[in-house]
Homo-oligomer: A and B are copies of this chain.
Amino acid sequence: MVKIGILGVGTVGASVARILQENADIIEARAGKKIVVKSGVVKDLSKDRGVSIKLSDDPNDVIDDPEIDIVIELMGGVDEAYTLVKKALEQKKAVVTANKALLAYHRYELQELAGDIPFMYEASTAGGIPIIGALRSGLSANHINAIQGIMNGTCNYMLTKMIHEGADYQEILKEAQDLGYAEADPTFDVGGFDASHKLLILASIAYGLDAKPEDILIEGIENITPTDVAFAKDFEYAIKLLGIAKKVGNKVELRVHPTMIPQESMLAKVDGVMNAVMVNGDCVGETMYYGPGAGGNATASAVIADIVDIVRGNSGPMLGYKKPLESGLTLLPKEEIRSHYYLRMSVDDKKGVLAEVTRLFSELDISIEAMMQKPDIDKDACVELLFVIHECEEKTIQQAIVELEKLDVIHGKVGMIRIEQ
């Protein structure tokens, strides 16, 4: 029999405890041993968790319990979780975590601390989808060319509604909050930060690359307008918040931002709260992993899969390698990332404006792939100019935006969405 303790018995923790009981037979058949939750830790003991496990409000009751073999960390947050997980590893207890923030900041220290002690984190990225397993094991023969993932259900739900139903950003945010898909302060989700944590985890397995959220390009979906949505539909694009990791020579670019992708691509077809991660490997080609990115039971499915693998003795090295993966690979500075771009700007509806804008592009060596003009429904005497820009460097487009916004004929902010073909 294997005994586990759960730090943090919220929605996911309660699901883990319940499923380990309800599906005990098949889980034991697959793991080869009975798995039992011995105890759990919560902050507030007075709240009913709907599970019949022994609860304590002192994490040490789990960590110091010599009978507990595996510690499941589901409390979230970075600092306290790190301290507790570290203590658990020092006591030679295996660790399973769903904590993406912990890993976004401490995965390399944790790998070092864990050594040969099993440390698993399937639930940290894309919920119930076994993408960590796919990258660590299923694709181990491959140099990873690229990863593109829809890894935030809140954003995907909102973008799906905006595209398919023409919903407005504020209106759909309110709806997502009412449905419990978005937090009262939605910044962590809609700002792309949640997705960036997951991207960093995947990039570590794929490339062995160390980076923190602060090091990479992160943009949210807050500035997408109905004009952008209409443009995307006209040009047969979907708009998705993607986490992208791409190897370019001996550099790796990492970025999270709303992205126009062709409607016929598989990722474009992933709608609502679902998640999906596309992985392109040099041997296998293009593969995709699709499923629910959140929810108590789906996340618990991933947590228990890790527990079963640990019990089987199948955990393997934490990040999937025992020595550095590809030496010489470094993070591409974000200003050097190259992309195609869509730009939107509201301009005075008068002669010479287009000439002024295109002259500015020309001075910056920016090449226009397409241009169209639309009436500005919000501003009288204005039109919206929409451009598709040929591939150029991030720093060039950012400079263009700064200079465009200085022009008198341009009103308000210039909107920009990156395009991936």
Verify B26–A283 contact, CB threshold 8 A: no
Which residues in B have their C-beta under 8 angstroms from that of A59? none
Verify B292–A25 contact, CB threshold 8 A: no
Verify A27–B138 contact, CB threshold 8 A: no
Contact of A138 among B130, B208, B266, B326 (CB under 8 A): B130
Given A143-B23, A266-B269: A287 touches B289 (CB 8 Å cut-off): yes
Contact of A285 among B23, B298, B312, B315 (CB under 8 A): B298
> Is the CB of A137 closer than 8 A to any CB of chain B?
yes
* Interface CB pairs A-B, < 8 A, 13: A28-B323, A30-B136, A30-B322, A134-B134, A138-B305, A139-B301, A140-B304, A281-B301, A284-B292, A285-B292, A287-B289, A312-B316, A313-B316
> Is the CB of A300 closer than 8 A to any CB of chain B?
yes
Find the residue from A23, A27, A326 having the highest chain B CB count within 10 A.
A23
> Is the CB of A128 closer than 8 A to any CB of chain B?
yes
> Closest chain B residue to A25 by CB distance?
B326
Verify B133–A134 contact, CB threshold 8 A: yes
> Is the CB of A188 closer than 8 A to any CB of chain B?
no
Contact of A141 among B23, B136, B140, B266 (CB under 8 A): B23
> Is the CB of A288 closer than 8 A to any CB of chain B?
yes
Contact of A305 among B140, B208, B304 (CB under 8 A): B140
Which residues in B have their C-beta under 8 angstroms from that of A321? 26, 29-30
| CA distance in complex: A264, B316 (Å) | 39
Given A138-B305, A140-B308: A23 touches B325 (CB 8 Å cut-off): no
Verify B142–A23 contact, CB threshold 8 A: yes
Query: When each residue 25-44 of chain A gets 1 if its CB lies under 8 Å from chain B and 0 otherwise, what string results?
Result: 11111111000000000000
Contact of A322 among B29, B129, B298, B302 (CB under 8 A): B29
Verify B316–A128 contact, CB threshold 8 A: no
Which residues in B have their C-beta under 8 angstroms from that of A301? 139, 141-142, 281, 283-284
> Is the CB of A324 closer than 8 A to any CB of chain B?
yes
Verify B143–A308 contact, CB threshold 8 A: no
Verify A141–B300 contact, CB threshold 8 A: yes
| CA distance in complex: A281, B300 (Å) | 12
Given A304-B141, A316-B312: A297 touches B324 (CB 8 Å cut-off): no
Count the copies. Answer: 2
Which residues in B have their C-beta under 8 angstroms from that of A133? 130, 133-134, 137-138
Verify A320–B30 contact, CB threshold 8 A: yes
Which residues in B have their C-beta under 8 angstroms from that of A137? 130, 133, 137, 305, 308-309, 314
> Is the CB of A282 closer than 8 A to any CB of chain B?
yes
For residues 2 through 16 of chain A, which have their beta carbon under 8 Å from a beta carbon of chain B? 15
Verify A141–B308 contact, CB threshold 8 A: yes
Given A128-B285, A283-B301, A301-B281: A140 touches B27 (CB 8 Å cut-off): yes
| CA distance in complex: A369, B286 (Å) | 40
Verify A30–B314 contact, CB threshold 8 A: no
Verify A287–B291 contact, CB threshold 8 A: yes
Verify A287–B141 contact, CB threshold 8 A: no
Verify A292–B283 contact, CB threshold 8 A: no
| CA distance in complex: A31, B290 (Å) | 27
Which residues in B have their C-beta under 8 angstroms from that of A73? none
